[in-house]
Amino acid sequence: MSEPQYVAIAGKFARDIRSGKLMPGTQLPSYAELTTKHNVSAIVIRAAVDLLISQGLVRTVPRRGTFVADRPNLVRVSPERQLEDPEETFRSESDDESEQKVVIDRHVQEISASDEVAAALGLKPGTRVTHTITRASEDRRPISISDTYQPIGVEGISGATFLEETLSDSLPTATHAEWLRASPGGLVKSVYQRFIAPGDQVVMISYVSYPRDRYEAFVFRMSLNPADATKV
């Protein structure tokens, strides 16, 4: 799915804020100025600003405008991550605009589902599934790893109408611990995702791990209604 306009605009501001180009307390241009500059509707600009607010990067002052937060922190927001490729997600979080800074490595294969994976997908144990391992690094520093499983013949999450996420601090699997360079017995931030289609059919599950200090907070917005996702 192509990157929504509001995510791209918010990502540009996010990079400028984290790089120091926009210092705490700096006032952003008005909505009218931003709609003209980016040639988009006021709805798109409002969505971009709302995303920056939810990420803890800006604050609004009634009748005055929008300002860079005094202590901007990195916050993970679920739905925006589902609407864009990992390359765009992590690049938006980077502190500059270098496209070489974030590296994504994927490995896709068909495997026999373990009892746990089969049960989660509503399949018989041993059924063949698609397994995708996605590793992300920033300046050669590992920042994310995920194991994703889907039934054979199912691609993407276009058929999903609901996303369920479980967040925890937990011991990583051996492969996740190795990639994230976690210390023995050290915890990581784990997110377990289930993408659910009508009829409670699970079309994808994903186990995602981040370093515990990667994000200051996690924000969840669960609607995956295609009309909601594309209206801006």
Is residue 229 predicted with pLDDT exceeding 50? no
Q: Is the confidence at residue 128, as pLDDT, over 80?
A: yes
CA-to-CA distance for 173 and 135, rounded, in angstroms?
Answer: 14
Instruction: Answer yes or no: are the C-beta atoms of 117 and 130 closer than 8 Å.
Output: no
- Taking residues 146-154, what's their average pLDDT? 92
Where does the pLDDT of residue 101 fall: very low under 50, low under 70, confident under 90, or very high at 90 and above?
Answer: confident
Picking from 202, 193, 198, 209, the residue whose alpha carbon sits closest to that of residue 79 is: 193
Q: How many CB atoms lie within 10 A of CB 186?
A: 13
What residue type is 210 in one-letter code? Answer: Y
40 pLDDT band (50/70/90 cuts)?
very high
CB < 8 Å & 24+ apart, contacts of 172-180: 172/209, 173/147, 173/207, 175/133, 175/145, 175/147, 176/145, 176/147, 176/207, 176/209, 179/135, 179/142, 179/145, 179/209, 180/142, 180/145, 180/209, 180/210, 180/211
CA-CA distances (angstroms) from residue 45 to 35, 39, 97, 200? 7, 10, 21, 35
Q: So what's the pLDDT on residue 230?
A: 40
Query: Using CA atoms, how far apart are residues 79 and 61, in angstroms rounded to an integer?
Result: 26
Res. 80 pLDDT band, cuts 50 70 90: very low
Alpha-carbon span 46 to 35, nearest angstrom: 10
| pLDDT bucket at 111, cuts 50 / 70 / 90 | very high
Mean pLDDT of the chain: 83
* Residue 231 pLDDT exceeds 70: no
Q: Contact 212/189 with Cβ under 8 angstroms?
A: yes
Greater confidence (206 vs 223) lies with: 206
More confident residue, 50 or 79: 50
In degrees, to the nearest 5, what angle opens at C-alpha 98 toward C-alphas 147 and 94?
55
Alpha-carbon distance of 164 to 122, in angstroms, equals: 16
Rounded mean pLDDT of 37-42?
94
pLDDT surpasses 70 at 14: yes
